[in-house]
Amino acid sequence: MGRQPEETAPREAQIHATAVMLPDPRLGEWAVLLRGPSGSGKSDLALRLIDRGASLVSDDQTLLRAIGPRLWAAPPAAIAGQLEVRGLGIAEIPYQAGAAVALLVDLVPAAEIERLPAATSEKLAGIAIQRIALDPAQLSAPEKLRLALRQAASHIMRAEPPADAVEGETGTIMTDDSLAEERSPAERRDGRTRLVLVTGMSGAGRSTALRVLEDEGYEAIDNLPLSLLNAVVNEVGLRRPVAVGVDIRTRDFAVGPILEQIDGLAANPRFAVTLVFVDCDDEVLGRRFTETRRRHPLAQGRPVADGLAVERRLVAPLRERADLVIDSSHLAPAELRQQLLGRFGLESPLGMSVFVTSFSFRQGLPREADLVFDVRFLANPHYDPVLKPLSGQDAAVADYVVRDAGFAPFFDHLTAMLEGLLPRYEQEGKSYLTIAVGCTGGRHRSVFVAERLASWLGERRRRVHLTHRDITRDPARAAGGR
């Protein structure tokens, strides 16, 4: 049997504990949680560990998040970098934004600790973590803790598959060498791990996009605290491409730090990073919130339009920085899926993906278009009462457009131009190209030309994705020609 799908939304918890990360030359960096009531010595033991080379993650309160098989610790934003030192007050010290947890330590008096305790564990945010009891007042407490942490981290690493292996459909483990011919170029480009960051306007379809990528085989993580982003994606054990969802509800959301992290990841030769922004017209977003009776996260008792205006100003730099903007205003879920898989699908590609879409000029240009062609010069079937209720997908409309003396030379010139352009775009490293064909109403001429162009591209073994953005609009409701 194949692997069961992992959860999209990682589990979360907040614990009354201090988290400290200890480096180990053999096992890497792992965090320990120090738990106990106020005055039990959490901060004091943390200070002793820090003096021996450890790093603070968080003091007294720690955010926990289950991501894949591991538990990650991070500090609440309000207390990040703060350590309470009794008698001195709050000290500002360097800290780690996140670390994988291997051990939970309950701080208790020595009299309450068994001499030879049985191995125990406790589930935190759904992840079982080895647990021990320790007297923080003992001089050997830091050394005992390090020894227990090494044992716990070793156990975790032995239980995980090798970093260079993936699970096959039979449940067996196959190494990179055995998959050298089978690995999808979309999953690894030039040896890099594909990392897709998905953001956008609330209600535009960001969560849907993330689910599409998860279904395709990405390790999908939604609303990951920004403090954990670098730590998670730099995890050595990543075996699949990663998709991370970020929006205004994400803990410690701030556009500046997000852009800094994106630029840092993009500069890392290990990753092929793409920022996707899912957008939508405010009018459509307003209808979606009204129809679903959901509250906009920034409306705060005001009209939805006010919340959308605030959000749009807030995320404008992300949209400007995005490598890909998808306008979902007139996209059905299946069409959104088609666009995403055309760009980020893990099947073996035949080259650059070409997206062809028809549209109505009345409804505005497709925002994602690379090339736009205006076919309003062709004879208009809208004025024929027999053809008006039909579309460019019907044979009668196709015959009508083809009979226009201007169609054949136009289409010949169009395809001749694309014959030379497409290879040049590929040479520049472009992985997808969007061609938009427009007419007045987006129902007759543009639909037929888009259909004919997609067929021509398919005959040349191009990866073609065809959509008709405005074909379903009621022709009786629109004024003017189509």
Domains of the chain: 12-159 (3.40.50.300), 186-344 (3.40.50.300), 353-468 (no CATH)
Q: Which SS3 state, helix, strand or coil, does residue 478 take?
A: coil
CA 280 to chain centre: 18
Dist. CA 465–CA 68, nearest whole Å: 33
Residue 158 CB-density burial (10 A; 0-12 exposed, 13-18 middle, 19+ buried): exposed
Confidence band for 250, pLDDT divided at 50, 70 and 90:
low
The pLDDT, as a whole number, for residue 5 is: 38
The pLDDT, as a whole number, for residue 445 is: 97
Choose the weakest-confidence range: 129-143, 296-310, 393-407: 296-310
Percentage, residues of the chain above pLDDT 70:
85
Helix (H) or strand (E) holding 101: strand 99-107
Dist. CA 354–CA 453, nearest whole Å: 11
Choose the weakest-confidence range: 6-15, 128-137, 224-233, 374-383: 6-15
Helix (H) or strand (E) holding 421: helix 407-427
175-178: long-range pairs with CB below 8 Å, 24+: none
Confidence band for 467, pLDDT divided at 50, 70 and 90:
confident
- Written as one string, the DSSP assignment of 19-52 is EEEEEETTTEEEEEEEE-STTSSHHHHHHHHHHT
Residue 222 has pLDDT above 90, yes or no: no
The pLDDT, as a whole number, for residue 394 is: 92
Please, what is the Cα angle at 100 between 184 and 38, to 5 degrees?
Answer: 160
Distances (CA, A) of 447 to 231, 284, 334, 377: 47, 23, 18, 14
Six-digit token pair at 239?
Answer: 């075996």
pLDDT digits (tens, 9 = 90+) for 337-365: 878 887 887 754 456 788 899 999 998 88
Residue 155 has pLDDT above 70, yes or no: yes
Residue 70 has pLDDT above 90, yes or no: no
Distances (CA, A) of 13 to 69, 72, 73, 74, 97: 16, 10, 10, 11, 16
The pLDDT, as a whole number, for residue 442 is: 94
Please, what is the Cα angle at 480 between 477 and 482, to 5 degrees?
Answer: 85
pLDDT digits (tens, 9 = 90+) for 102-123: 999 999 998 888 887 888 889 9
Max CA-CA distance within the chain? 98
- Written as one string, the DSSP assignment of 67-88 is ETTEEEEE--GGGTTEEEETTT
Choose the weakest-confidence range: 170-184, 220-234, 273-287: 170-184
The pLDDT, as a whole number, for residue 45 is: 93
What secondary structure letter does DSSP report for 174?
E
Dist. CA 30–CA 35, nearest whole Å: 16
Map 349-380 to HEC letters: CCCCEEEEEEEEHHHCCCCCCCEEEECCCCCC
The pLDDT, as a whole number, for residue 270 is: 82
Mean per-residue pLDDT, 413-436: 88
Residue type, 407: F
The pLDDT, as a whole number, for residue 358 is: 95
Mean per-residue pLDDT, 429-449: 91
Would you say 474 and 388 are in contact if contact means Cβ atoms under 8 Å apart? Answer: no
Higher pLDDT, 151 or 446: 446
Higher pLDDT, 173 or 408: 408
Identify the CA nearest to 105 among candidates 38, 171, 45, 52: 45
The pLDDT, as a whole number, for residue 325 is: 87
Residue 475 has pLDDT above 80, yes or no: no
The pLDDT, as a whole number, for residue 167 is: 36
Dist. CA 189–CA 97, nearest whole Å: 29
Confidence band for 236, pLDDT divided at 50, 70 and 90:
very low
Confidence band for 371, pLDDT divided at 50, 70 and 90:
very high
The pLDDT, as a whole number, for residue 161 is: 52
Would you say 155 and 130 are in contact if contact means Cβ atoms under 8 Å apart? Answer: yes
**CA terminus-to-terminus distance, the chain:** 52
Residue whose entry in the numeric block shows the structure tokens 């170029």: 185
Dist. CA 342–CA 336, nearest whole Å: 10
Handedness of CA 331, 332, 335, 339 (dihedral sign): positive
Identify the CA nearest to 239 among candidates 162, 153, 181, 159: 162
Choose the weakest-confidence range: 135-139, 228-232, 413-417: 228-232
Would you say 34 and 9 are in contact if contact means Cβ atoms under 8 Å apart? Answer: no
Confidence band for 272, pLDDT divided at 50, 70 and 90:
confident
Mean per-residue pLDDT, 187-200: 75
Q: How many CB atoms lie within 10 A of CB 116?
A: 4
CA 293 to chain centre: 26
The pLDDT, as a whole number, for residue 252 is: 60
Q: How many CB atoms lie within 10 A of CB 181?
A: 6
Residue 221 has pLDDT above 90, yes or no: no
Residue whose entry in the numeric block shows the structure tokens 């925002």: 367
Q: Which SS3 state, helix, strand or coil, does residue 246 take?
A: coil
